Structure 1
Amino acid sequence: MTMKLENARPRASLDRNGWVEAAIDMLAEQGVQGMRVEVLAKNFGVTKGSFYWHFKDRQDLFTAVLETWRDGRIRDIHKQSVSTPGREHEQLLHLIDVYGATRNRRGISIELAVREWARRDAQAAAVVEEVDGWRLECTRKLFVARGVPDDEAKSRSLLLYAYVFGQSLMACDSYDPGISDFKHWIAELIVKP
C-alpha cells in the first residue's frame, strides 16, 4: 500500500515542516526505509532540489523527524500527566485510558516505526530512550504524589507503560464481552494506593 500525498491539498510552497510531516507519514506507513527523498519529492510533485533547499541531506531529515517525534511525545506526556493535587489517581487512570486506546492507529504506527528504527540506529535509540524516560518520570511523580515510595513508584510506572503499550497492540476486544471491565480492573490494580 503506497501513501498518496498528491490527494492532499496542493501546497503553494513546501517548507521544512511539510517535508518532516510527509516523512513521518511515510515512516508510519513504510518504516524508515520509506523515507526516501525521491519518493517524498515525487509524492509532492516537486524536485529533489526542493528537499535540498531545506535539508543538508537525508540524515538531516532523519534528525528532524526524530526531534519532531520526541518533542511531540514529551509535550504530550507533560500535558497528560499534569494533575491537581489530590487527583493523581484519576490522572493515572486517564493516562492508561489515553495511551492504551487503540483509536489512534496513526500514532501507534508511528510509535512502532520509531521503535523498529531504534533497533538499528543509535540516534533513534537515544531518542526513544529519552521519550521513555520522560514517560516513566512523569508517571513516577504522580505515584510519589500519591504517597507511593519511590522504588515502588518506579516499578508501577514501568508496569503502567508495559500494560498500555502492550494492550494497545493487541486485538482483544472480542476476547470476552466484559473486556472493558477487565481493562478497568487492571488499570485500578496498577494505580491502587
Structure 2
Amino acid sequence: MVMASATRLSADDWIAAGYARFHDGGLGGVRVEAIARDLGTTKGSFYHHFADRAALVAAVMDRWSREETDRFTVEADAAADPRERLAVLFRAISQRRMPGEASLYLDAEREGVTDWVRTVTARRVDYVASALVELGIETDEARRRAFAAVGTALGLELLARGGAGPLMVDRGDMVGSLLRALTA
C-alpha cells in the first residue's frame, strides 16, 4: 500500500492511499483505519480533510472516473478514424488490470456509488456509440452495440480474474473479434 510521512498529510495523500486500496480490492478496502495504518498516521488526520468515509469514497470515485475513462478516451482521440479510435480504446482496456473495478458494479448500491457507476458507464457507452454513429450505424443500434461492448470488456476482465484466463484466446485476437462484431 501507499506509505507517506505522518507529518502534513494532504487530502491527496488520503485519496491516493484510498485509490490504491480500491484499485487492488474494491471499495470494501477503502477503510479509514486501514488507510491510516498504510499512511502511518491516525484517523484524526483523515477527519482534518474529510467529513466521513463517504467523502473519501466520492474522491476515489472521481479519480476512478478520470483514470479509468478519461485516460482511455484521450488516448483513443489521438486517432482521427472512428474504427482506429475504437481499436485503440479496446486494446488499451484489454491491457489494463483494475481488480477493484470488478466488484464495483456488484457493490455499487451497498457502497452508495450507483450514481458514479451509472455516470461513468454512460460516458463509456456514449463514447463508443458516437464512434459507431460516425461509421454509419443508426443511433439506437449504436447505443445497443456500445452497451454490449462495454459489458463485454468488463466481463472479459471478470472471467480472467475468476480463473478463466488460461481458457481465453489471445486478448489481441479478442479485441479484433469484438471490433469486427461491433462495427459489422
TM (norm. structure 1) is: 0.79
* Structure-2 residue corresponding to 1:165: 154
SS of corresponding position for 2:8: coil
The superposition leaves residues 120-151 of structure 1 with CA deviations (integer Å, 9 ceiling, x where unpaired) of: 24x41110000000000011110111111112
The superposition leaves residues 39-75 of structure 1 with CA deviations (integer Å, 9 ceiling, x where unpaired) of: 2112211122211111112222122222222233342
* Structure-2 residue corresponding to 1:79: 74
How far off its partner does 1:83 sit? 5.5
Measured on the aligned residues, the alpha-carbon RMSD in Å equals 2.6
Matched, 1:130 2:125: no
Amino acid at match of 1:46: T
The superposition leaves residues 105-124 of structure 1 with CA deviations (integer Å, 9 ceiling, x where unpaired) of: 2xx21312432330424x41
Residue range with higher mean Cα deviation, 16-25 or 88-97? 88-97
Change (3 A) 1:149 1:53: same
Residue range with higher mean Cα deviation, 34-43 or 48-57? 34-43
* Structure-2 residue corresponding to 1:183: 174
Matches for 1:1-193 after TM superposition, within 5 Å: 3=1, 5=2, 8=3, 10=5, 13-82=8-77, 84-85=79-80, 87-101=81-95, 104-105=96-97, 108-121=98-111, 123-171=112-160, 172=164, 174-175=166-167, 179=170, 182-193=173-184
SS of corresponding position for 2:113: helix
Residue range with higher mean Cα deviation, 68-77 or 134-143? 68-77
In structure 1, what is the Cα distance between the partners aligned to 2:10 and 2:123? 30
Change (3 A) 1:134 1:175: same
Unaligned runs of 5+ in 1: none
Contact kept in structure 2, 1:28 and 1:113, CA below 8 Å: no
How far off its partner does 1:179 sit? 3.8
In structure 2, what is the Cα distance between the partners aligned to 1:72 and 1:184? 21
SS of corresponding position for 1:93: helix
How far off its partner does 1:166 sit? 1.6
TM (norm. structure 2) is: 0.82
Specify the structure having the higher radius of gyration (Cα). Answer: 1
Residue range with higher mean Cα deviation, 51-60 or 74-83? 74-83
